[in-house]
Amino acid sequence: MNKFEKQLEKWNKGILRGAQAKLAKTLGVSTATTALWTTGKRSPSKGYVEQMAKLFDMDALDVYKLFDRRSVIYPDPPNVSSARMLHDRHSNEFGYNMQPHSINEEKTEPSNSVQLPFLNEVPSNVEEHNENDILEWWSVPRRFAQGSKCILRASQIGLQHVSSDDLCFIKPFTREQENEWVVFRTPTGQHVCRQIRLHKGQTLYCQPESQNGQKQKPGRPIGVVIKLIRQL
């Protein structure tokens, strides 16, 4: 039993059974979400932490400590296709099991994982987002994140032929580089993803899975797609 389960048991009058479902109903989230919090696969956002602090009659900082993942040690991730391989929609290489490999409260090694926010909305800056837009926090291997600052649904950034469950890891935009997939905010407020290609000394902004592009930049760059995750 981990620290969060012990607190759930205490909150539910000494009975652990049914505590996750009770908490999910109280917070207005799914039981799957509370199960992910319990197993350490996800961490709650600040808003949910504050709500639990009131429910548990605890300080918010103490609630955060219930989800301290510094002791989570991940295995090295497999080689995963980069954004330039997004056209291979049937490849199984995109999947990776995010579950912790082992947990040992006595370990003192620095964590090789990072916390990334899974956002409900595309931010104007991937390094600055509204706390209310965070659905949950994900703990992922540092090498797998590769500088990513947030996670977004693939459908939100204009990628085609994706499902509602497909996700993208997004890193900050610095400059245009060939073959990178860049997320742009158009003048009308929509979001599109374009691959940067160089042709005869000119920069082309290409539609996903297409060799054809336009010379005009579609809008303001928001971030760069690092990985497309399917069937997580």
**Residue-wise pLDDT tens digits, 44-92:** 888 888 999 999 999 988 888 888 654 333 333 433 334 433 433 333 3
pLDDT, residue 106, reads: 42
Q: pTM for the whole thing?
A: 0.59
CA distances from 52 to 29, 47, 55, 98, 119 (A): 12, 9, 5, 25, 20
pLDDT, residue 43, reads: 82
Which runs of consecutive H residues, i.e. helices, occur in the chain? 3-11, 19-27, 31-39, 46-56, 60-65, 142-145
How far apart are the C-alpha atoms of 141 and 100, rounded to whole Å? 9
**Residue-wise pLDDT tens digits, 176-224:** 899 899 999 999 999 999 999 988 888 999 987 677 788 899 999 999 9
Pick the CATH number of 3-68 from 1.10.357, 1.10.10, 1.10.260, 1.10.150: 1.10.260
**Where on the phi/psi map is residue 156: left (φ > 0), alpha (ψ -120 to 50), or beta?**
alpha
Residue ranges of the chain that CATH labels 1.10.260: 3-68
How far apart are the C-alpha atoms of 205 and 25, rounded to whole Å? 46
Pick the CATH number of 73-229 from 2.10.109, 1.20.50, 3.30.70, 3.40.50: 2.10.109
Burial of 20 (0-12, 13-18, 19+ CB in 10 A): buried
Adjacent-strand bridge partners of 102: 73
- Residue 216 makes CB contacts below 8 A (sequence gap 6+) with 205
Residue ranges of the chain that CATH labels 2.10.109: 73-229
